Amino acid sequence: MKKSFREVLKEGRFIVTSEVGPPKGTNVDRMVQIIELLKDKVDALNVTDNQGSVMRYPSWGGCFLIVEQGGEPILQVTCRDRNRLAIQQDLLFAHSRGIRNVLCLTGDSIDVGDHKEAKPVFDLDSVQLINLVQSLNSGKDIGGNQLDSPTDFCIGACTTASAEPIEPHLIKLQQKIDAGIQFIQTQAVYDLDQFKRFMNYLCKLNKDVKVLAGIVLLTGPRMAVFLNENVPGIFVPQPLIDQLQVAPKGKALSVGIEIAGRTIREIKEEGLCDGVHIMAIEKEEVVPQILEVAGL
Amino acid sequence: MKTITAQKSFEEILEVLERTERVYIVGCGTCATMCQTGGEAQVLQMKERLEQAGKIVTGWMVIPTACDDLTKEALGEQAEGINQAQGILVMACAFGVQTVVSWTDKPVCPALNTLFIGKEDVPYQFSEVCIQCGECILGWTAGICPVTSCTKGLLNGPCGGTKKGGKCEIDKEKDCAWVLIYQRLESQDRLDLMRKYKRPKDYRVVKRPGRIKLSEDLLKRSF
Ligand code: SF4
Ligand code: SF4
């Protein structure tokens, strides 16, 4: 039996999580393979929730598969597509199927996705969502009504370490920490000096929350530029884009793996934070190689 | 405060007027004139285009304020032209359209889309600053409304998408509402207000459609 993520958080060793993106459709073969490949190599696997506002197979569906395959899932929940009733209902279902970790997110704007005409919900924001899960954990729904049994979720949140100005984000992070989160998975980290500054700020808050630095695999220079231009909250520095640019034909992905592995190694060696969260979007099969470069 | 409107495409207007050969046009002298969507100039332009499209315009007028009670009288005064028409095209906001609807039995069709209730920043530039949520939180947010100005209407701080320089994730030209709130609260030395947890909104506050009748007591009370 795999150790629960909650226990891993308490062990004090370097934590590694990764994530899988569900399919656009009903064919889960690839996702099942990725889960099989990664479930024992990482401490937990996130499943994204209509990432980038692109409609996909549900996050809890992917998490359910992870449970079935003996892995440890982290359910990503955003506020964009569901009101408070729907979110709670999904969480009850997830809990009944053995899903015990929830990552509470705001969700990207509808405008970046593939259903631009849809109505954005945002009935709650991410801080309110964390409070909602706490409420279910205490045996009540967010309306204050008694549940027949409480949930027992380990709650995480996301933050961005590279925002400018950073202060409003730190205040929000403090609100999330005050609401009782147990772990943080950050948005992509490329600039370690900036990340150190972020961790310094965070240390001042002096709270017992595990921080996993986000590592987004760069598959080539075009992807890096795309991330900078289109993905909210990610900033790839120019020197890294240059490294990918000069890579020989067909070798850019290897360079990306090298960059990701190197970053993880540095984070671990310098003890910058408690672990990493590796996001290899649509290239999850190379996560073992990244871990190898990182020496994990 | 003005109701901000934009003109519908002429194709859409023609589609709704498909079975209406004789049309009477109503414009509005207030918001729609300010937005240049339903003032005299636009009414005359519409008249010309409709005639070019083979319609008969039986008359037109620009009511000073189409959403006002006086609309009833104005329609009465223009009874002749209106009676000859099979339908009325209203170049006013939806409040004006519905006011006309309530005083006539003729089919009424809007020529404008009503976008938002906004204020005029400088001539011909309007912005939405309040969506009438019924639970005003401006006291906690340095007078800047995140319900309206944040793309996601977030109540507790910025989302992770804020772009460099404090711009919103969906628009490099638009300031992130929460960065503005932060800056203003900081300059007022009131950042504690930003740390305060704002609970989820109560959507019962205004039952839609909103309807209110001031009570006798309230009317008698003097402040
Ligand atoms: S919080 Fe915003 S939308 Fe609500 S009443 Fe106040 S200004 Fe209007
Ligand atoms: S960037 Fe700022 S204004 Fe835009 S959605 Fe996020 S919090 Fe709201």
CA of B190 to the centre of ligand 1 (A): 20
Mean of per-residue pLDDT scores for chain A: 95
**Cβ within 8 Å, pair B170-A111:** yes
- Is the complex ipTM more than 0.90? yes
Least confident of A227-241, A246-260, A279-293: A227-241
Least confident of A4-13, A228-237, B85-94, B179-188: A228-237
Q: How far apart are CA A69 and CA A47, in angstroms?
A: 14
Residue B222 clears pLDDT 70, i.e. is over it: no
Nearest CA to ligand 1 atom 1: B136
Residue A83 corresponds to which tokens in the numbers above?
A: 């009101």
- Answer yes or no: are the C-beta atoms of A255 and A246 closer than 8 Å: no
Q: Which sequence spans correspond to the domains of chain B?
A: 2-115, 131-202
The pLDDT score that the predictor gives to residue A206 is: 67
Distance from CA of A237 to the nearest CA of B (A): 13
The tally of CA atoms less than 13 A away on the side-chain side of residue A160 is: 24
Q: Which of A111, A125, A174 sits opposite B154 (nearest CB)?
A: A125
Residue of higher predicted confidence among A43 and B212: A43
The answer to whether the CB atoms of B158 and A109 lie below 8 A apart is no
DSSP per-residue letters across B160-216? TTPBTTTEETTEEEEEPHHHHHHHHHHHTT-THHHHSPPPPP-TTSSPSSP-----H
B204 touches chain A (CB under 8 A): no
Mean pLDDT value across chain B: 94
Whether B223 has a pLDDT exceeding 60, the answer reads no
Q: Which of A56-65, A96-105, B212-221 has the lowest mean pLDDT?
A: B212-221
Confidence of residue B154 (pLDDT cuts 50, 70, 90): very high
Which tens digits make up the pLDDT trace of A39-98? 999 999 999 999 999 999 999 999 999 999 999 999 999 999 999 999 999 999 999 999
- The pLDDT of residue B219 is above 80: no
- Quick one: pLDDT at residue A205? 77
pTM score of the predicted model: 0.94
Q: How large is the average pLDDT for residues A137-157?
A: 98
Q: Does A178 touch chain B (CB under 8 A)?
A: yes
**CA A59 to chain CA mean position, Å:** 12
Tell me the mean pLDDT in the region A272-294: 97
- Is the distance from CB of B160 to CB of A172 less than 8 angstroms? no
pLDDT in tens, B21-51: 999 999 999 999 999 999 999 999 999 999 9
The answer, yes or no, to whether residue A200 has pLDDT greater than 70, is: yes
> B179 and A165: CB-CB below 8 Å?
yes
Please list, in sequence order, all residues whose beta carbon lies within 8 angstroms of the beta carbon of residue A95, skipping any fewer than 6 positions away: A136, A151, A152, A153
Determine whether the interchain pair B154/A106 forms a contact, defined as Cβ–Cβ distance below 8 Å.
yes
Instruction: State pLDDT tens for residues B76-105.
Output: 999 999 999 999 999 999 999 999 999 999
CATH fold of B2-115: Rossmann fold (3.40.50)
**Residue A104 CA: distances (Å) to CA of A53, A117, B55, B62, B66:** 15, 24, 57, 53, 48
Structural domains in chain A, CATH included, are 5-159 (3.20.20.220)
Q: What is the mean pLDDT of residues A226-234?
A: 81
Write the residue in B156, B163, B179 that is nearest to A128 by C-beta. Answer: B156
pLDDT, position A82:
98
**Searching chain B, which residue's CA lies closest to the CA of residue A187?**
B160
